């Protein structure tokens, strides 16, 4: 699983039938450090299985795990958002999900 932050929507008018009605989101993979979550500059497009909004910190899965999310078995995807985080504790510190620092900060 990957920690990521939703950056935006991806809109496509021409796509395979199994993607019709699916929300596609642009996410940036995050890394965890003791002081905060940090951006990595690595972006992914994910099928949203949980209704995440822009700015949300989420769990994303890739590969065959993305296709085992409920109702995504026939969707041609390699990445899916499967959870919206409410809290994250790392190394005994509760991290503020609203504070995501730039890469290298």
What's the alpha-carbon Rg for the chain, to the nearest Å? 14
The answer to whether position 42 is within a domain reads yes
In this prediction, residue 66 has a pLDDT band, given cuts at 50, 70 and 90, of low
The answer to whether position 105 is within a domain reads no
Sequence-distant (≥ 6) Cβ neighbours of residue 85 within 8 angstroms: 3, 56, 57, 58, 59, 97
Which is higher by pLDDT, 13 or 75? 13
- Residue 67, pLDDT > 70, answer no
In tens, the pLDDT along 45-61 reads: 999 999 999 999 999 99
Give the pLDDT of residue 88: 93
- Residue 104, pLDDT > 90, answer no
The answer to whether position 76 is within a domain reads yes
Its pTM stands at: 0.89
The answer to whether position 18 is within a domain reads yes
The answer to whether position 10 is within a domain reads yes
The answer to whether position 99 is within a domain reads no
Sequence-distant (≥ 6) Cβ neighbours of residue 30 within 8 angstroms: 2, 3, 4, 5, 37, 38, 39, 40, 57, 100
Q: In the chain, how many domains are there?
A: 1
Distance CA 61, CA 57 (A): 13
Rounded to the nearest 5 degrees, what angle is found at the Cα of 93, between the Cα atoms of 30 and 83?
Answer: 45
Which is higher by pLDDT, 95 or 21? 95
Report the phi/psi class of residue 55: left, alpha or beta, with left for phi > 0 and alpha for psi in -120 to 50: left
As a whole number, mean pLDDT of residues 68-73 equals: 69
Say which CATH number the domain at 24 has: 2.40.50.220
The answer to whether position 39 is within a domain reads yes
Provide the CA 94 distance to its chain's centre, in angstroms.
Answer: 20
């Amino acid at each position: 699983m990957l920690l990521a932050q939703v950056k935006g929507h991806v809109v496509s008018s021409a796509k395979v039938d199994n993607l019709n009605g699916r929300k596609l989101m642009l996410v940036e993979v995050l890394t965890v450090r003791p002081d905060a979550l940090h951006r990595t500059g690595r972006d992914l497009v994910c099928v949203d299985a949980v209704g995440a909004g822009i700015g949300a910190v989420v769990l994303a899965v890739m590969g065959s795990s993305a296709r085992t999310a409920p109702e995504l078995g026939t969707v041609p995807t390699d990445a899916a958002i499967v959870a919206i985080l409410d809290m994250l504790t790392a190394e005994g510190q509760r991290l503020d999900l609203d504070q995501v620092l730039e890469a290298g900060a």
